[in-house]
Amino acid sequence: MKTSPAPASVYRAAEGLGLWEHRGKVAAVGVGHSPTFRRWDGTPANSVGGISLEALRRAIDDAGVDPADIDGLVMDPSTTTGAFWPKGKPLPWEAINAYNRTDDPLDGITGLSAEWILANMPQLNRIEFTTYGVGCMSNAICVAAQAIGNGRAHTCLVLKSWHNLEGRYYQGGANAGNAIPGSSAIRSLWGTPACFGTAVQFAEYCRKYGKSHDMMAPFIENSRKNGLKFPEGYWAQHRPEEITPEDYEAARWIAKPANLFDNDMPIMVSAAYLFTTAERARHLKQKPVYILNHATSRTRPRSLTPTLDEVEEDTARTARKIYEGAGITADDLSFENMYDGFALFHQFHIEGLGYRGLKFGEALDFYQTDISISGPNPVSPSGGNIGCGRSRFWMHTDCIQQLQHRAGARQVTGVKPEIAVSGGPMPVGGNYMVWSATPD
Amino acid sequence: MERYAGLRRTILISFDIDGTLEEGDPPGILAIDFVREAQKDGFVVGSCSDRPISAQRAMWERHGIEVDFAVSKHMLAEVKSQFSADVYYHIGDREDLDKRVAEQAGFAFLWPHEALAKPWHKASFRR
């Protein structure tokens, strides 16, 4: 039987659900990352399947778990950064045939099924539960946490991988055609770059609160600095370049007021985590990081892109869900790692959270204060997508590593790492996780 | 200054980095020595890239080349207004982000392989 997406019932999308019933009873233990690459080089080992196997192996080793004890796999079958295999281009048979195949030859190249993973990791021979958390790691970790809490699995790998091919992204797939199938023509924005919706919201934000784009510079500078301290990240591995305020202000517009450095860069990368029960976690190699809650936003905007009012309404609602299920308040957060895969919406996330008492319209002023990892108010200590490349999972890895005191040069020093929140992607519509150094 | 075909002209060359120079990500076909030699021959040289300007400068510094300018992709017109030259070239690998930008700024555009075929290019600069 083929693996299916998780049902809607596993997500905590509503307000008023009370404390999460599995609060503190599920833990993250192991972390494994593949190397990063700007684009696939055509070799089997660096295909999205190849790097996924590498990330999984590393997570298993990191946790110190016997593969035969692993009984669950939650992952995202979609791996595209916006790159698709061009129609008519010969298939990469050398890479395809280097692994055990499924009925889709591009499985492991431009997509990834649980069946492909299991066919190529014979050591995972006790897996009885597989499901998909579609979209990004934020989704998959919520699904995995709930699955362990519900007893569907006791030791579960969580996987998210990305492929990027040569050429420009967002130029293939449906975008390459002369017509848009189905109702996409009236559901999607036409002719705009991906950051356009966020740029519109940010423009309105600046107008409403009297702020300006250059006030984002300290956030960008801080994110890249943190990212360069993330050895698993693309920029740290390949191009250790800082972004100064002068660099930021000199960058070209992509969709004004969103410039080049407000956008992340697509890369090839894979990450895997090992989740288990709190009880089992105590006997594994790494310090357990307990999950206090997961929460989800399924809000649908009234039109093609959410208005600023809708964004603020929803981030506040998401925060209420996050805090209610975890049994915490904003004051309990040691740091935040909300998504930044357009930099210009990070402030929507943290204002909604009320991080460090922030109210709507205050985050850009907050960015002018000490937001570094050594200060009392760390912002995005992972560096996020801006600091490490497009993956949508640096924030989760960082929360785990910070609470395990394994973040190395990135370790927060201005606060004691006890409780953290991460999640995304978009401020309207996303999945969020509350992590804790202790189960209660 | 540079001489060929009996003329003496000032030539400015703007180099894209990624996909154009061997230092690029992805690497291009133009060696850094191409830039070094062009500068020695009296050309006005610099980079015009999507890389942060500080990263462009750091790259040139690593190679011991003191470029005349390092700018973002949309700043070529400013380069033209700052430097007086007889010919302005931008060498790059992208139709939209190099060729179009160059032409809008009043630069002649060269693909990297075209640059290698120019009479002012020396065979020894080839990678």
Q: Which residues pair with A296 in a beta bridge?
A: A431
Most A CBs within 10 Å: which of B16, B25, B57, as the mutation test of the A interface?
Answer: B25
Structure tokens given for B6: 């009996």
Partners of A239 on chain B (C-beta within 8 Å) are 25, 55
Distance from CA of B118 to the nearest CA of A (A): 27
Average pLDDT over residues A265-285: 97
Could you give all domains of chain B from N- to C-terminal order, each with its CATH number? 2-117 (3.40.50.1000)
Substitution target from A38, A41, A239 for chain B, most B beta carbons within 10 A? A239
Reported as a single tens digit per residue, the pLDDT across A187-198 is: 777 778 889 999
B51 vs A contacts (CB less than 8 Å): 241
- Confidence tier at A327 by pLDDT (50, 70, 90): very high
Assign A203 a pLDDT band (cuts: 50, 70, 90). Answer: very high
Q: How many CB pairs under 8 A join A and B?
A: 40
- Report the C-alpha gap between B76 and B98 in whole angstroms: 10
pLDDT at residue A415 greater than cutoff 70 = yes
Interface test with A, best of B16, B47, B51 (most A CBs within 10 A): B51
Q: Specify whether the CB–CB gap between A121 and A53 falls below 8 A.
A: yes
Burial class for B40, CB neighbours closer than 10 Å (0-12, 13-18, 19+): exposed
* Distance (Å, whole) CA A80 – CA A86: 13
- The interface predicted TM-score (ipTM) is 0.90
Q: Which range, of A34-38, A120-124, A172-176, averages the lowest pLDDT? A: A172-176
B123 pLDDT more than 50: no
A125-184 pLDDT per residue, tens: 999 999 999 999 999 999 999 999 999 999 999 999 999 998 776 766 667 777 777 777
Question: Binning pLDDT at 50, 70 and 90, where does residue A73 land?
Answer: very high
Among A22-26, A105-109, A368-372, B114-118, the least confident range: B114-118
Residue ranges of domains in chain A: 26-169+266-281
Asked if residue A262 lies in contact with residue A195, where contact means CB atoms within 8 angstroms, the answer is: yes
Strands B11-15 and B87-91, by their bridges, are parallel
Q: What pLDDT does residue A112 have?
A: 98
- CB pair distance less than 8 Å for B75 and A250: yes
Indicate the helix (H) or strand (E) that contains A188. none
- CA-closest candidate to residue B35, choices B18, B50, B21: B21
pLDDT above 70 for B125 = no
CB contact under 8 Å between B54 and A251, yes or no, is: no
Range B35-51 average pLDDT: 96
Nearest CA-CA partner of A267 in A225, A222, A237? A237
Asked if B15 and B45 count as a contact pair (C-beta separation under 8 A), the reply is yes
A72-75 and A26-33: which strand pairing? unpaired
Tokens of A94: 């050398």
Neighboring chain A residues of B74 at a CB cutoff of 8 Å: 252-253
CB A252 to CB B51 under 8 A? no
A408-435 mean pLDDT: 98
CB contacts of A250 in chain B (<8 Å) are 53, 71-72, 75
Determine the average pLDDT of the residues in A229-251.
98
Give the per-residue pLDDT at B124: 42
Residue B1 is predicted with a pLDDT of: 44
To probe the interface with B, which of A166, A235, A238, A243 has the most B CB atoms within 10 Å?
A: A243
Q: Residue A40's closest chain B neighbor by CA? A: B26
Q: Examine the pLDDT at B47 and tell me if it is beyond 90.
A: yes
Query: Can you tell me the mean pLDDT for A297-323?
Result: 96
| Chain A residues near residue B73 by CB distance under 8 angstroms | 252
Does the pLDDT of residue A337 top 90, yes or no?
yes
Structure confidence at residue A168 (pLDDT): 72
Query: pLDDT band for position A59 (50/70/90)?
Result: very high
Average pLDDT, stretch A419-435? 97
Q: Mean pLDDT over all residues of chain A?
A: 96
Tell me which residues of chain B, numbers 81 to 100, contact chain A at a CB-CB cutoff of 8 Å.
none
Q: Which fold has domain A26-169+266-281?
A: Peroxisomal Thiolase; Chain A, domain 1 (3.40.47)
pLDDT at B127: 38
Q: What is the mean pLDDT of residues B86-105?
A: 96
All residues of chain A having their beta carbon less than 8 Å from the beta carbon of residue B54 are 241-244, 246-247
**Contact at CB, B54 and A38, closer than 8 angstroms:** no
Is the pLDDT score of A20 beyond 90?
yes
Q: Is residue A326 pLDDT above 60, yes or no?
A: yes
Position B27 scores a pLDDT of 94
Q: How far is CA A79 from its chain centroid? A: 13
Closest C-alpha among A265, A268, A237, A263 to residue A252? A263
Name the nearest CA neighbour of A438 among A332, A351, A315. Answer: A332
